[in-house]
């Protein structure tokens, strides 16, 4: 008896919350047996290739498909007119965000295929469907587009100016929303009364998301049931189902079956519906056979939503002691040619929520416009406003410290919210529930061998290199959890299946979710399965995004487990012929209190399968379909310290040391969390040092391949030192805070602060991202000249 | 795309015959690292692909009777790197060839393909120019030899006549205490396209440089042989003044374009910086050898 | 025109297939032979997700015509593990969670295996440069590089 308990506890230790458990999906992925969308092939499938606008802006007069239609293997060519004739609806942005005058977002519906105008290079106008992908590609080149080019505008600030080319008749000044938060008069006064003001114009460069798996979709249609099926990589099948069913196809959601297997990276980009998905679904219905579309990389550069692209002016007011008295961020966010479901959030609300960071700040104002331009639509990208807002704040602090002659660490200390001040109601409306910001910074400083920097700097100088060090404190406001399914199904074969509507695209949800369930119910870890990518299984699903999945699905699994326990207690009471009140649940087993009569969840499930003779009012199984209602945002935070060297003759930057201390609250699986931090840091490093999507004056993307768009490679990045200082969140049952986007939030400021620190002795005050060798070199030259 | 033919002849005569007969509709396939990308992008639509890797001469690495090396045009960087002595004699040529793309690309890409692609930023070419390499080409009218720097005539253009195939590169015998080096500057550190490439080949007598050739890539419509820079180095001890003079000659020789990868000012200045660094490496190697 | 008939060896197995002259090795692996472990991330040799070996030399299968396989030997991710047992690199990647979305992982493993066969004792810098042709957007490379170095050390230890 005792040995069973001990074995069980050993099992808990091995697979419980907090353990570095390896990922259950990895044996398959490591053998190349992953099931990504392009690996899906359906009987009789045809292949679709998109015809895209070569112009950034123009009137679409006509599409001549005559020659293409007769090309070998071509089955059909569909245009916007065909979709209109079929009565298909448009994709919409339904964010409840309000402008400064209380008006809603000036959204414009997005058709899958353009009919009147084209608005960016890559805007899809037709799909060519053929027997093979090569035939479709060859025929697509034969489709003739009659387009009258119009002047294009690609820059948000320019697009908002009078006289700029207008993308939509219905949208004045190309402005989707003119957002404002904060008491302008009070903020103005604070700046007037400040003993010091720091002001920076900061470019948040446009990013090509570049998930390594190009987007792909296979549409099929079953005439008998009038049901569509879409195999697609996304971030949540429940939301994708609803968007396509309700907004576009005007059918009941259960007639739109969305299935997602493995997803090869997304970072926000694959979250929403895309024109191609609508095209393959409709084509499958029209043709009576499945239609598959897979982008090639040059298509991905144009058609995958981009990230970032803000121009902001950031200002900080300080009193004589260096205490912050007000923060103001004003500027423009480029949303591209169409709104996605979330794109107006990043330059507005998410900038506001996250700029406050870990600091005591009496006043904050954010006033920004989300602006349409003739560019690829912009959507959430790893952090979605969080890293940028932290970056603005940390650059302001570092700059203010230099201007005021105060040590930057000391300046942060004077302003950091102390643990004794938490819960803290921030001026931006956020309520911080937990955190120990000064200790985390101190630990990061110590981990970085702070005092050894001078010697390292001197050694770099001997080699002709400039060494710099930068700190990036951050605090992110994760997306709040709303309606997430916690399904627990006891299968006939003894497996226990978790069913939930978050969906991982590399994070590895299966294992941490199983750890939570294993710890709570004691079911064997290796028998736990996960269903996350089948809309037919879900009764709710918020999807993944905003670093919330462990809070959402973790809490849903815990609450569903409580229901399993309640059901089990009733059944166990019957089995043991005792009262429900006498049954306790402990260590994975139901026990008659004070006796040695126990039955584990697994045993009880097995007995139920075997057929227990139960009264009518008792449940027949332990399975549960539950919806977790909501949890507020959490506040993951931390401090990164970066040290780098600059070659002043060429401008090449090399990162030498990188340390971080993070507070992710309760960490369910440290093995995976560390990887999330690494990945986020390197995406931030890419934005900071090399990545930049560039358009020319005609709206052509100049950086449309990996030859011209630099994604960090193994040789571009250092290794990292990772530590945690956890203060569990009080606002969700697990105490988790979310970790997916935090790496980016720490790396943008720490890297850029380190770079400016290296160049400061030459007189460089600020340098914009990406700090390419040429830009660094040019900054050095102009500082020397001045 | 659907009406392409592929042939892989085993003799040079067959290859030249097939290539010439296709009258411009054919493309040579060596490593394929440019050709397949261009085909995929729809930039080229060849009717015939002539795979030359089965022709022995194009895949061989040989010592010449004079003591130099002859390298088949289709030899990949990875194969050349594994040669027991080539990299000791011509480390800079090898560096250039093995800066073309990734490990995977180095397993396929050849100097011949790099030269025939006609990119001013071709990484393997400055090293060959500095080495004084001679290209051997063969066409319907026979075989001829031309200095490598005379092959490219502009971006994407070469002096090869219709039907001519690049066969090999011949590198001269090396005096004692000679070596070379190649450095390049790119928007990032490992791959991508050079904004400046610099190759220096030197012969040293003690601390004195007795012979030099300098070549720059990516700073003009074709790879340059910079004779003024070489003159500034020869019969000096590679002192700061001489290096400054050579660097200035490099900057002066630059005739670059302003493009998304680098401005004129940056390319011009960095060309001089790289000259100094490359010279230092080559001199160190030459003294050691 | 008629398809080409190619005789080759894939993962040690004599293999014959038909292909069009323009089809790449990657196309044939994925579409004709059902070996979908090799992935297309770019089609231009920039990402390495399609890495295979051709006569033991690491190449991008997207930059190789299938016809070129005639008489040569190809190895892919599908040939890496022996039955149920993972290859030591795969096992180390599993233990250290050196993969996230997994789409680049087959190419990374094939490339890392080629490195360790050529150089059983690589430095961190050598690993980073060798793998520079394998783009990974998820992991930040840290765990990949460590896993390769640790596997190399394990294999050297086992060989002693």
CATH number assigned to the domain comprising residue C134: 1.10.150.120
By C-alpha distance, the chain C residue nearest A719 is C142
B77 touches chain C (CB under 8 A): no
| Per-residue 3-state assignment (H helix, E strand, C coil) for A545-612 | CCCCHHHHHHHHHHHHHHHHHHHHHHHHHHHCCCCHHHEEEECCEEEECCCCCEEEHHHHHHHHHHCC
pLDDT per position as a tens digit, A419-444: 999 999 999 999 999 999 999 999 99
> Over pLDDT 90: what percentage of chain A?
96
- Rounded distance, CA C37 to CA C35, Å? 6
Count of domains observed in chain C:
2
Distances (CA, A) of B37 to A583, B101, B186, C107: 69, 13, 21, 19
Provide the ipTM.
0.98
C29 touches chain A (CB under 8 A): no
Instruction: Indicate the residue of B40, B51, B101 with minimum beta-carbon distance to C68.
Output: B51
Spatial CB neighbours of A744, under 8 Å, sequence gap ≥ 6: A382, A383, A386, A387, A680, A681, A683, A684, A687
The predicted structure's pLDDT at residue A7 = 43
pLDDT per position as a tens digit, A331-363: 999 999 999 999 999 999 999 999 999 999 999
B94 and B216 belong to one structural domain: no
Contact (CB<8Å) C60/B105:
yes
Q: Which of A480, A369, A310 is nearest to A103 (CA)?
A: A369
Which of A218, A714, A743 would you mutate first to test chain C, the one with the most C CBs within 10 A?
A714
Residues in chain C with pLDDT values less than 50:
none
CATH number at residue B62: 3.30.465.10
Average pLDDT score over residue span A634-647 = 98
The predicted structure's pLDDT at residue B23 = 84
- Rounded distance, CA A382 to CA A268, Å? 6
Element (H, E) at A630: strand A624-631
Contact (CB<8Å) B53/C59:
no
Select from C57, C79, C101 the last residue of a domain. C79
Mean pLDDT, rounded, of chain B? 93
Which of C2, C56, C60 would you mutate first to test chain B, the one with the most B CBs within 10 A?
C60
Q: Beta strand A324-336 with A364-372: parallel, antiparallel or unpaired?
A: parallel
Element (H, E) at B167: strand B165-171
The predicted structure's pLDDT at residue A472 = 98
C21 touches chain A (CB under 8 A): no
Instruction: Indicate the residue of C51, C65, C115 with minimum beta-carbon distance to B6.
Output: C65
End-to-end CA distance of chain B: 51
- Rounded distance, CA A601 to CA A488, Å? 12
pLDDT per position as a tens digit, A709-765: 999 999 999 999 999 999 999 999 999 999 999 999 999 999 999 999 999 999 999
The predicted structure's pLDDT at residue B24 = 82
A703 touches chain B (CB under 8 A): yes
Which CATH class name applies to A2-34+481-630? alpha beta
Select from B145, B171, B197 the last residue of a domain. B171
**DSSP conformation class of A458:** H
The predicted structure's pLDDT at residue B257 = 73
SS3 state at A312: strand
Alpha-carbon gap: C110 to the closest alpha carbon of chain A (Å): 11
Q: Which of A277, A275, A270, A335 is nearest to A545 (CA)?
A: A270
**DSSP conformation class of B268:** H
User: By the 8 A CB rule, do A244 and A278 touch?
Assistant: yes
A716 touches chain B (CB under 8 A): yes
Output the six-digit token pair for A277.
């998905």
pLDDT per position as a tens digit, B34-45: 999 999 988 899
Residue A283 C-beta-side C-alpha neighbours within 13 Å? 34
Contact (CB<8Å) A715/C97:
no
Alpha-carbon gap: A650 to the closest alpha carbon of chain B (Å): 6
- Rounded distance, CA A77 to CA A215, Å? 21
A706 touches chain C (CB under 8 A): yes
C11 and C75 belong to one structural domain: yes
Alpha-carbon gap: C5 to the closest alpha carbon of chain B (Å): 12
Q: Do domains A37-150+214-263+270-303 and A307-479+633-785 have the same CATH topology?
A: no
Q: Beta strand C73-75 with C4-10: parallel, antiparallel or unpaired?
A: parallel
- Rounded distance, CA A119 to CA A272, Å? 19
User: By the 8 A CB rule, do B189 and A715 touch?
Assistant: yes
- Rounded distance, CA B99 to CA A576, Å? 75
The predicted structure's pLDDT at residue A6 = 41
CATH number at residue B226: 3.30.390.50
Mean pLDDT, rounded, of chain A? 96
End-to-end CA distance of chain C: 56
- Rounded distance, CA A60 to CA A609, Å? 63
Chain C stretch 67-106, residues whose beta carbon is closer than 8 A to a beta carbon of chain A: 76-78, 80-81, 86, 90, 93-106
Output the six-digit token pair for C44.
């231009």
Contact (CB<8Å) C94/A34:
no
Alpha-carbon gap: B63 to the closest alpha carbon of chain A (Å): 35
C24 touches chain B (CB under 8 A): yes
By C-alpha distance, the chain A residue nearest B265 is A778
- Rounded distance, CA B232 to CA B248, Å? 10
B146 and B271 belong to one structural domain: no
Distances (CA, A) of B126 to A111, A595, B150, B167: 52, 86, 12, 19
A451 pLDDT higher than 70:
yes
- Rounded distance, CA B82 to CA B59, Å? 14
The predicted structure's pLDDT at residue C38 = 98
B29 touches chain C (CB under 8 A): yes
C-alpha A709, offset from chain centre: 21
Bond into A770 cis (ω within 30): yes
Select from B171, B186, B217 the last residue of a domain. B171
C129 and C94 belong to one structural domain: yes
C64 touches chain B (CB under 8 A): yes
Contact (CB<8Å) B266/A774:
yes
Average pLDDT score over residue span B258-270 = 81
B16 and B159 belong to one structural domain: yes
C-alpha A351, offset from chain centre: 15
C63 touches chain A (CB under 8 A): no
pLDDT per position as a tens digit, A386-404: 999 999 999 999 999 999 9
B161 and B219 belong to one structural domain: no
b/e burial code for range A460-480 (CB count within 10 A of at least 16 → b): beeeebbbbbbbbbbbbbbbb
A772 pLDDT higher than 60:
yes
- Rounded distance, CA A655 to CA B189, Å? 12
B30 pLDDT higher than 90:
yes
C11 and C73 belong to one structural domain: yes
In the block, which residue shows the tokens 């815990």? A558
pLDDT per position as a tens digit, A601-614: 999 999 999 989 99
B103 touches chain A (CB under 8 A): no
B156 pLDDT higher than 80:
yes
**DSSP conformation class of B148:** G
- Backbone angles phi and psi of A313, in degrees to 5: -105, 120
B35 and B165 belong to one structural domain: yes
Q: Which of A527, A616, A604 is nearest to A573 (CA)?
A: A604
**DSSP conformation class of A244:** I
Contact (CB<8Å) B104/C51:
yes
C15 and C72 belong to one structural domain: yes
Contact (CB<8Å) C46/B2:
no
Instruction: Indicate the residue of A649, A654, A715 with minimum beta-carbon distance to B273.
Output: A649
Residues of A in contact with C104 (CB under 8 A): 212, 264
In the block, which residue shows the tokens 């199904």? A489
Angle, CA A666 vertex, CA A660 and CA A672 arms, to 5°: 60
Bond into A632 cis (ω within 30): no
A490 pLDDT higher than 60:
yes
- Rounded distance, CA B5 to CA A189, Å? 76
User: Which CATH code is given to the segment(s) A37-150+214-263+270-303?
Assistant: 3.90.1170.50
Which CATH class name applies to A307-479+633-785? alpha beta
B188 pLDDT higher than 70:
no
End-to-end CA distance of chain A: 81
Domain boundaries, chain A: 2-34+481-630, 37-150+214-263+270-303, 307-479+633-785
By C-alpha distance, the chain B residue nearest A686 is B188
Select from B129, B145, B171 the last residue of a domain. B171
Bridge partners (DSSP) of residue B152 are B158
Task: Show the domain range for B46.
Answer: 5-171
- Rounded distance, CA A481 to CA A493, Å? 33
Residues of B in contact with A651 (CB under 8 A): 266
B119 and B235 belong to one structural domain: no
> Over pLDDT 70: what percentage of chain B?
96
Alpha-carbon gap: B36 to the closest alpha carbon of chain C (Å): 6
pLDDT per position as a tens digit, A198-257: 999 999 999 999 999 999 999 999 999 999 999 999 999 999 999 999 999 999 999 999
Task: Show the domain range for C150.
Answer: 88-159
Alpha-carbon gap: C59 to the closest alpha carbon of chain B (Å): 4
A474 pLDDT higher than 50:
yes
The predicted structure's pLDDT at residue A532 = 98
Going by pLDDT thresholds of 50, 70 and 90, the confidence category of residue B198 is very high
- Rounded distance, CA A77 to CA A196, Å? 63
Select from C31, C48, C79 the last residue of a domain. C79
All chains having 3 or more CB pairs closer than 8 angstroms to chain C: A, B
The predicted structure's pLDDT at residue A588 = 94
B104 touches chain C (CB under 8 A): yes
Alpha-carbon gap: C157 to the closest alpha carbon of chain A (Å): 23
- Rounded distance, CA A110 to CA A247, Å? 10
Give the neighbor-by-neighbor strand order of the sheet with B134-139: B61-63, B69-72, B165-171, B134-139, B142-147
Size of interface A-B (CB pairs under 8 A): 54
What totals of helices (H) and strands (E) does chain B contain, helices first?
11, 14
**DSSP conformation class of A736:** B
User: By the 8 A CB rule, do A470 and A621 touch?
Assistant: no
The predicted structure's pLDDT at residue A9 = 52
| Threshold 0.90, pTM exceeds | yes
Count of domains observed in chain B:
2
The predicted structure's pLDDT at residue A1 = 31
C73 and C8 belong to one structural domain: yes
The predicted structure's pLDDT at residue B190 = 43
Distances (CA, A) of A410 to A323, A416, B106: 11, 10, 51
- Rounded distance, CA A168 to CA A150, Å? 12
């Amino acid at each position: 008896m005792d040995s069973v308990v001990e074995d069980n506890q050993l099992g808990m230790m091995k697979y419980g919350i907090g353990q570095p458990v390896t990922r259950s999906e990895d044996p398959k992925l490591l053998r190349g047996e992953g099931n990504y969308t392009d690996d899906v092939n359906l009987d009789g499938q045809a292949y679709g290739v998109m015809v895209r606008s070569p112009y950034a802006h123009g009137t679409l007069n006509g599409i001549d498909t005559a020659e293409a239609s007769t090309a070998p293997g071509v089955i059909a060519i569909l245009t916007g007119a065909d979709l209109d004739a079929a009565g298909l609806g448009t994709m919409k942005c339904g964010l409840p965000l309000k402008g400064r005058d209380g008006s809603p977002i000036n959204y414009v519906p997005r058709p899958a295929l353009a009919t009147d105008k084209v608005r960016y290079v890559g805007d899809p106008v037709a799909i060519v469907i053929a027997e093979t992908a090569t035939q479709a590609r060859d025929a697509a080149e034969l489709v003739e587009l009659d387009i009258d080019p119009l002047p294009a505008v690609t820059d948000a600030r320019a697009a908002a100016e009078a006289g700029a080319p207008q993308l939509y008749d219905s949208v004045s000044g190309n402005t989707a929303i003119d957002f404002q938060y904060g008491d302008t008069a009070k903020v103005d006064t604070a700046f007037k009364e400040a003993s010091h003001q720091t002001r920076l114009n900061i470019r948040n460069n446009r990013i090509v998301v570049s998930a390594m798996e190009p987007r792909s979709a296979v549409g099929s249609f079953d005439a008998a049931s009038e049901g569509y099926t879409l195999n697609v990589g996304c971030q949540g099948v429940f939301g994708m189902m609803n968007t396509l069913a309700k907004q576009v196809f005007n059918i009941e959601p259960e007639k739109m079956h969305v299935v997602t297997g493995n997803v090869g990276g997304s970072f926000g980009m694959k979250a929403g519906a895309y024109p191609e998905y609508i095209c393959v679904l409709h084509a499958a219905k029209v043709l009576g056979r499945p239609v598959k579309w897979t982008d090639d990389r040059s298509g991905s550069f144009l058609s995958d939503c981009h990230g970032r692209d803000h121009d902001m002016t950031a200002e900080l007011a300080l009193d004589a002691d260096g205490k912050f008295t007000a923060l103001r961020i004003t500027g423009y966010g480029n949303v591209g040619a169409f709104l996605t479901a979330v794109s107006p959030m990043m330059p507005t609300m998410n900038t506001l929520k996250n700029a406050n960071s870990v600091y005591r700040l009496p006043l904050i104002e954010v006033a920004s416009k989300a602006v349409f331009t003739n560019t690829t639509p912009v959507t959430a990208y790893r952090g979605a406003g969080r890293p940028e807002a932290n970056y603005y704040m940390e650059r302001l602090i570092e700059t203010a410290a230099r201007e005021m002659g105060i040590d930057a660490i000391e300046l942060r200390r004077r302003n950091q919210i102390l643990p004794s001040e938490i819960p803290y109601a921030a001026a931006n409306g956020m309520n911080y529930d937990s955190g120990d910001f000064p200790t985390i910074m101190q630990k990061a400083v110590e981990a970085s061998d702070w005092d050894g920097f001078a010697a390292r700097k001197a050694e770099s100088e001997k080699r002709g290199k400039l060494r710099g060090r930068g700190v990036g404190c951050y605090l992110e406001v994760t997306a709040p959890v709303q309606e997430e399914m916690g399904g627990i199904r006891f299968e006939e074969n003894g497996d226990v299946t978790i069913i939930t509507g978050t969906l991982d695209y590399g994070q590895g949800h299966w294992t941490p979710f199983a750890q939570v369930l294993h710890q709570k119910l004691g079911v064997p870890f290796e028998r736990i399965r996960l269903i996350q990518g089948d809309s037919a299984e879900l009764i709710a699903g918020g999807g993944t995004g905003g670093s919330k999945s462990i809070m959402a699905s973790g809490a849903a699994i815990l609450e569903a487990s409580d229901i399993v326990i309640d059901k089990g207690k009733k059944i166990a009471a019957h089995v043991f012929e005792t009262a429900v009140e006498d049954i306790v649940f402990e260590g994975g087993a139901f026990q008659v209190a004070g006796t040695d009569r126990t039955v584990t969840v697994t045993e009880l499930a097995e007995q139920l399968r075997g057929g227990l003779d139960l009264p009518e009012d008792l449940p027949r199984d332990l399975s549960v379909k539950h919806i977790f209602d909501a949890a507020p945002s959490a506040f993951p935070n931390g401090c990164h310290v970066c040290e780098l060297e600059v070659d002043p003759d060429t401008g090449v930057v090399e990162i030498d040391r990188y340390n971080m201390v993070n507070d992710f609250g309760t960490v369910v699986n440290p093995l995976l969390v560390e990887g999330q931090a690494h990945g986020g840091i390197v995406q931030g490093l890419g934005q900071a040092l090399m990545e930049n999507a560039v358009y020319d004056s005609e709206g052509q993307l100049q950086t449309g391949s990996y030859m011209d768009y630099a994604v960090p490679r193994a040789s571009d990045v250092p290794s990292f030192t990772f530590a945690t200082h956890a203060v569990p969140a009080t606002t969700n049952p697990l105490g988790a805070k979310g970790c997916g986007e935090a790496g980016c939030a720490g790396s943008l400021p720490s890297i850029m602060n380190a770079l400016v620190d290296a160049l400061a002795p030459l007189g460089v005050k600020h340098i914009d991202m990406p700090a390419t060798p040429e830009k660094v070199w040019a900054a050095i030259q102009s500082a020397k000249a001045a | 795309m659907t009406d392409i033919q592929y042939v892989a002849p085993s003799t040079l005569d067959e290859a030249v015959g097939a290539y010439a007969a296709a009258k411009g509709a054919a493309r040579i396939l060596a490593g394929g690292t440019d050709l397949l990308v261009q085909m995929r992008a729809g930039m080229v639509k060849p009717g015939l692909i002539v795979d030359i890797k089965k022709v022995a001469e194009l895949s061989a690495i040989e010592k010449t009777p004079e003591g130099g090396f002859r390298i088949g045009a289709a030899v990949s960087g990875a194969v050349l790197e594994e040669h027991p002595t080539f990299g000791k004699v011509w480390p800079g040529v090898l560096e250039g060839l093995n800066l073309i793309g990734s490990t995977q690309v180095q397993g396929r890409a050849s100097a011949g393909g790099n030269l025939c692609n006609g990119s001013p930023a071709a990484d393997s070419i400055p090293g060959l120019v500095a080495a004084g390499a001679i290209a051997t080409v063969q066409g319907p009218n026979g075989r001829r030899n031309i200095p490598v720097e005379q092959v490219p005539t502009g971006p994407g253009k070469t002096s090869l006549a219709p039907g001519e195939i690049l066969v090999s590169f011949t590198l001269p015998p090396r005096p004692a205490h000679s070596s070379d080096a190649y450095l390049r500057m790119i928007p990032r550190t490992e791959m991508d396209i050079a904004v400046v490439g610099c190759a220096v080949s030197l012969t040293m007598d003690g601390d004195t440089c007795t012979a030099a050739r300098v070549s720059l890539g990516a700073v003009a419509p074709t790879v340059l042989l910079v004779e003024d820079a070489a003159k500034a180095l020869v019969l000096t001890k590679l002192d700061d003044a001489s290096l400054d003079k050579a660097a200035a000659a490099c900057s002066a020789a630059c005739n670059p374009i302003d493009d998304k990868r680098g401005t004129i000012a940056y390319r011009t200045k960095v060309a001089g910086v790289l000259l100094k660094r490359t010279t230092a490496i080559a001199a160190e190697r030459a003294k050691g050898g | 025109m008629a398809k080409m008939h190619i005789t080759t060896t894939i993962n040690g197995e004599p293999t014959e297939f038909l292909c069009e002259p323009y089809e790449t090795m990657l196309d044939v692996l994925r579409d004709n032979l059902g070996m979908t472990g090799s992935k297309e991330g770019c089609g231009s040799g920039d990402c390495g997700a399609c890495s295979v070996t051709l006569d033991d030399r690491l190449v991008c299968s997207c930059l190789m015509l299938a016809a070129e396989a005639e008489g040569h030997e190809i190895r892919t991710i599908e040939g890496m593990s022996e039955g149920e047992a993972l290859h030591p690199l795969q096992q180390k990647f599993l233990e250290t969670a050196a993969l996230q979305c997994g789409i680049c992982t087959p190419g990374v493993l094939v490339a890392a295996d080629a490195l360790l066969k050529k150089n059983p004792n690589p430095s961190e810098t050598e690993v980073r440069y060798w793998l520079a042709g394998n783009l990974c957007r998820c992991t930040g490379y840290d765990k990949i590089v460590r896993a390769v170095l640790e596997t190399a050390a394990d294999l050297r230890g086992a060989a002693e």
